[in-house]
Amino acid sequence: MPKDQRPKQERAQATRAAIIRAAAAIFGQRGYARTTLDVVAVEAGVTKGALYFHFDSKHDLANAVIAEELRLTSVRAQETLDGGFSGIETLVRLNRNLTDQIVNDVVVAAGVKLTTEELVAQLSIQTPYDTWTDVYSRLFERGIAEGSCSPTSTSSDSPGSSSGPSRACR
C-alpha cells in the first residue's frame, strides 16, 4: 500500500515516532535547554503544525522521549529477567544491555541525558528511577535467596550511600 494511503492512525503513529526519534537526536546533541522545536521539526521532516498536533510543548516532547527510553529499556530488561539467569548474572547482563542501549540507541541515550537535566527542565523522571530501583532491589533479594549476595547491616561499605542496607555480592 502506498505510504500516503496508509490508515490515518498508522500515519499518525509513524509521524509521532519520527518526531520522538528526531527530538532524541537533538536533545542528545544539544540538551534540553538548547533544543528548539523548530530544529526538531526540521530533523523529523514534519511541519511545526504536525509536531504541535502530537506534542503541546518541548516539555511534553522531552517527557515522551523519556517514556520511550523507559519502554525500550524495559522490553530488553524483561527479556533478560526472563532468561533464567542467577540474580547476580541477571544484574551483570542488565548493566551490559543498558550500556549497549545507551551507546547504540539515540532514544535511550537522550532519555538518560534528559533524566539528568531534570532540575533544569522539571521533567517527569520519577517512573524510570522507580522502575529500575524496583528491578535492582528484586534482583538483590533473589541473589540473597540464591546465596550469591548477602545483606549487611550497615551502609558504610557502600560509597555515597547514606541509608538502607547495602548488599555484598560475589
pLDDT digits (tens, 9 = 90+) for 55-86: 999 999 999 999 999 999 999 999 999 999 88
Grid coordinates 521539526 are at which residue?
41
Q: Is the pLDDT of residue 165 over 50?
A: no
Q: Write out the H or E segment, with its range, that includes residue 169.
A: strand 167-169
pLDDT level of residue 167 (50, 70, 90 thresholds): low
Each residue of 82-104: pLDDT tens digit? 999 888 899 899 999 999 999 99
Residue 116's pLDDT is 82
Homologous superfamily of the 3-169 domain (CATH): Tetracycline Repressor, domain 2 (1.10.357.10)
Write down the pTM of the prediction.
0.76
- What is the Cα 127 distance to its own chain's centre? 10
Q: Domain extents for the chain?
A: 3-169
Residue 151's identity, in one-letter code, is P
pLDDT band at 138 (very low <50, low <70, confident <90, very high): confident
CA distance 118 to 115: 5
